[in-house]
Structure 1
Amino acid sequence: SGNVKRGKTEAEINRLSKFLFCSLLFLSVMMVMKDFCQHPTNPFVLVSLTRFMILFSSIIPISMRVNLDIAKLVYAFFINKDKEIKGAEVRNSTLPEELGRVDFVLSDKTGTLTKNEMTFQVLCMQSKILREANFEDIKDDVKELCENCMEECSELNEAKKGTEKNLNIEEKIFVQKKNNPKHLLRCIEAMALCHNVTPSFNESGEKYYQASSPDEVALVKFAEHVGVVLEHRTFKQIVLRTPTGKLEYEILNVFPFSSTTKRMGIILRAKNGEVLFLMKGADNVMSKIISNNEWLEEECNNLAREGLRTLKYDAASALMSNRDLEVFKIQESIESGLKALCITGVEDELQDNVQRTLEMLKQANVRVWMLTGDKVETV
């Protein structure tokens, strides 16, 4: 069987009891020392020693030990029956008194102080900041922009028919840089494409998203809410459904997120042959890659002060003809041409009564140390 867990309070009481017993024995011996020296063979010396040990026995607080054991049973009962502490169960009645000795609480943030349930809150672009109150307007804008793109593509294809390759909506959204007012649509498309999320269906046919990070699920769900739906994904293909039809992209390569790079990238090929490189990552890493990032730094700090988790999205396009480089070299070369798209703000909701609990711990002079990878402003 395993070792019995004992608290520091009980260990201290045991040490004190041993010390008091030694003191009791010492005092009793001192009281009979004179008689023992005068009559070493007299058997009544042992009787006197026993008598003094009984007289001094009140030095050892036996009643205190009994009272402590009764108290442990009482407050263990109250903890088990406390309706405000759901699921609490006292498995060892010798430990609850240790709660009163706590000076430091060491805690992780995500999933401990927070619910690990991400909710999309803010989309920040260079020209505007869109919050939850604007999301329905974004949905209407995305639909209108997709329809405009289809109309413009049809007109251009008609004008260029027989002379050049036809345009499609992917090229219209991502490739044209000059006089392109469709920045919002590019941001939504980037959120729907740059991730490791896979759509799945349960037995009842309901759709759900599988991903290693709840942040990515929140971003994909936001894109779905405003009209750009992740319909299908395999190792080689991503299919989006927009208000005007489906968009298909071939996955050429994925640069997964890691604790070293702190960013994630994906290279896609649209139907027209154009290659897109999309990347998202932590603001401190992306700021070193992107030029003209003053507004990004300012907005990231603003969102962090609101307690939101921030990600920066960037995009680049390139023609892959006559290019056969190693994956790492490709990533480095394309990163140098990235253009900032937007910043996203995702909220990880706090557990119920976390704020009240932390305030009570502070009043009890208990210091809380929290481990997190977020910015100081977010914490």
Structure 2
Amino acid sequence: MTETLLNVSEGDQAPTPSNLKAVGKKTVQAIVINDKSRFSYKIDEPGILKSKPTEYPTMQTNMRLGNQIGENSGMHQNLNSQEEDRRGIGGSLNSAGTRRNNGFQIFAALCLFLQVSLDLVKSLYAKFIDWDSEMIDYETGIPSHATNTAISEDLGQVEYIMTDKTGTLTENRMIFRRCCINGVFYGNESGDALKDDKLLNAVAGSSLDVIQFVTVMAICNIVIPIKSKTGAILYKAQSQDEDALVNAAAQLHMVYANKNANILEIRFNGSIIKYELLEILEFTSDRKRMSVVVKDCQNGKILLLSKGADGAILPYAYDGQQTRTFIEVVEQYAQLGLRTLCLAWRELKEDEYQEWSLMFKEASSTLVDREWRIAEVCQRLEHEFEVLGVTAIEDCLQDGVPETIETLRKAGINFWMLTGDKQNTAIEIALSCNFISPARDRVCIAMDEAFSSGMPIGVRPHEAKYLCKK
């Protein structure tokens, strides 16, 4: 279809311009403009007007028609004026809608720009962590790397940090430092009992108390000895405390050499001592001790060897044994920030062990309240101890822990430390870590033994003691 402007009047013969051509059935759409309005014509033959003019739907057409009609009819003029008003209001509304849409587009663009800017800033903050040359693992040489761009934003929201002590603040690398055997202190002067000549001479002289103490250190555990290709004996232990005790016993010439099924082989001063492992009473948080029942293959004696917290060993000493010295030793080691364990043993009669063994096997095979029944059966055996002594193990702090905690505290972050150590040990560790300041008053909340042992009792006001110290 071709549109052509033709300047003719209605009823006149249309001119034939050079570009006016018939399309299809010689039908051409032509636009004809006369003096008063704009009309559309259909031309079947070039130059011949056949169709009656039809109004072209445009605003200019309506306005011109309205003006023409208004000259003859006032009514038509009023109607057309109303039409103009209506169209004017519509135009204003369209203009307002256009401005509103433009405002929405500008607002969306600003939001997008702000989001992009925030992402760029957070990415830059994360890069500062990557660029910090002091944040590096000096052992492996691996620098820090922020994998999350929102890490700075997340760190800014931290108010409390709850941390474990062992392996988090400390290296979890236990070192045997001191011990007290039957009231005799070893390692107090040098700080290392394994280099104390007094202890080394006692081992060489086969002192009975010292040999029993070191024997418990060597075999009262669930450690597995492994012989390397070079012939050296390595120990695979689940507990770092047990690993420290076994290695310390080996340095005192009580070497846990081999475990073949239930036979334990100990090398001491060139001789081999064998024990048959009968039962293992595993450590639990309620009992706070672990024990083994072994049979000396040399003389056939059945022995109960135990180690645990002072509160789980000392109260079960046999009547007549003085435990005041051991209590003072534990407090002294705890004030130095050392981890303490009490070692004990007792000889069992054959019929006593056989009767107990049946109850222990029955409790171990039950399906209802197994843990409770095992603990009850173990309690029947773990009593009348002969306390041999106390060990003190050091767990060194990781490098930079005190400085890091002090910096975070200045930033307004509070710390909670979880530990199973004694109160004095926990206080000393907290002081060394800068958890608490020695110049401030401290409030210590201590609960009685019944509550701390996990018995199903309610919290009563008289069961908590509040002590204020400087």
- Pairwise TM-score range, normalised by the shorter structure: 0.7 to 0.9
Change (3 A) 1:338 1:65: same
| 1:156-191 deviation per Cα after TM superposition (whole angstroms, max 9, x unaligned) | xxxxxxxxxxxxxxxxxxxxxxxxx63222211211
Please tell me the residue identity of whatever aligns with 1:195.
Answer: N
Is the CA contact (8 Å cut-off) linking 1:121 and 1:345 kept in structure 2? yes
SS in 2 for 1:119: strand
- Structure number with the higher helix fraction is 1
- Give the CA deviation at 1:305: 2.3
User: 1:46: which partner in 2?
Assistant: 97
Please tell me the residue identity of whatever aligns with 1:305.
Answer: Q
| 1:71-119 deviation per Cα after TM superposition (whole angstroms, max 9, x unaligned) | 2222222212322222422212133222122101122222222221111
User: 1:111: which partner in 2?
Assistant: 167
Change (3 A) 1:138 1:188: farther
| 1:175-224 deviation per Cα after TM superposition (whole angstroms, max 9, x unaligned) | xxxxxx63222211211121111110234443210111111010011111
Please tell me the residue identity of whatever aligns with 1:375.
Answer: K
Change (3 A) 1:70 1:323: closer
Q: Percent identity?
A: 29
- Give the CA deviation at 1:65: 4.3
Is the CA contact (8 Å cut-off) linking 1:275 and 1:320 kept in structure 2? yes
User: 1:95: which partner in 2?
Assistant: 151
Change (3 A) 1:189 1:111: same
* Structure 1, unaligned runs of 5 or more: 1-37, 147-180
Identify which of 300, 303, 312 aligns with 2:333: 303
| 1:130-171 deviation per Cα after TM superposition (whole angstroms, max 9, x unaligned) | 12444231553244323xxxxxxxxxxxxxxxxxxxxxxxxx
Q: In structure 1, what is the Cα distance between the partners aligned to 2:212 and 2:284?
A: 25
Please tell me the residue identity of whatever aligns with 1:82.
Answer: D
Q: Which moved more, 1:90-99 or 1:307-316?
A: 90-99
Q: In structure 2, what is the Cα distance between the partners aligned to 1:135 and 1:376?
A: 27
Point out which structure has higher relative CO (alpha carbons under 8 A, 6+ apart).
Answer: 1
Is the CA contact (8 Å cut-off) linking 1:142 and 1:227 kept in structure 2? no
Change (3 A) 1:44 1:254: closer
Is the CA contact (8 Å cut-off) linking 1:145 and 1:185 kept in structure 2? no
Identify which of 388, 409, 423 aligns with 1:362: 409
Identify which of 272, 297, 311 aligns with 1:284: 311
The TM-score with structure 2 as length reference comes to 0.59
Q: Which moved more, 1:359-368 or 1:121-130?
A: 121-130
Change (3 A) 1:115 1:82: same
Is the CA contact (8 Å cut-off) linking 1:290 and 1:339 kept in structure 2? yes
Specify the structure having the higher radius of gyration (Cα).
Answer: 2
Is the CA contact (8 Å cut-off) linking 2:177 and 2:193 kept in structure 1? no
Identify which of 250, 256, 270 aligns with 1:224: 250
Q: How many residues align?
A: 307
Identify which of 303, 309, 316 aligns with 2:346: 316
Change (3 A) 1:138 1:63: farther
Identify which of 104, 115, 123 aligns with 1:73: 123
Q: In structure 2, what is the Cα distance between the partners aligned to 1:197 and 1:217?
A: 7
Change (3 A) 1:197 1:301: same
SS in 1 for 2:350: coil
SS in 1 for 2:212: helix
User: 1:170: which partner in 2?
Assistant: none
Change (3 A) 1:276 1:62: same
- Give the CA deviation at 1:331: 4.6
Is the CA contact (8 Å cut-off) linking 1:120 and 1:346 kept in structure 2? yes
Please tell me the residue identity of whatever aligns with 1:268.
Answer: V
Is the CA contact (8 Å cut-off) linking 1:274 and 1:317 kept in structure 2? yes
SS in 2 for 1:295: helix
Please tell me the residue identity of whatever aligns with 2:407.
Answer: M
Q: Is 1:85 aligned with 2:85?
A: no
Is the CA contact (8 Å cut-off) linking 2:220 and 2:305 kept in structure 1? yes
Q: In structure 1, what is the Cα distance between the partners aligned to 2:212 and 2:403?
A: 42
Please tell me the residue identity of whatever aligns with 1:117.
Answer: R
Is the CA contact (8 Å cut-off) linking 1:145 and 1:182 kept in structure 2? no
User: 2:276: which partner in 1?
Assistant: 250
Identify which of 195, 200, 208 aligns with 1:140: 200
Q: In structure 1, what is the Cα distance between the partners aligned to 2:378 and 2:107?
A: 81
Please tell me the residue identity of whatever aligns with 1:237.
Answer: I
- Give the CA deviation at 1:286: 1.8
Change (3 A) 1:353 1:50: same
The TM-score with structure 1 as length reference comes to 0.72
- Give the CA deviation at 1:288: 3.0
Please tell me the residue identity of whatever aligns with 2:204.
Answer: E
SS in 1 for 2:425: coil
Q: Which moved more, 1:125-134 or 1:76-85?
A: 125-134
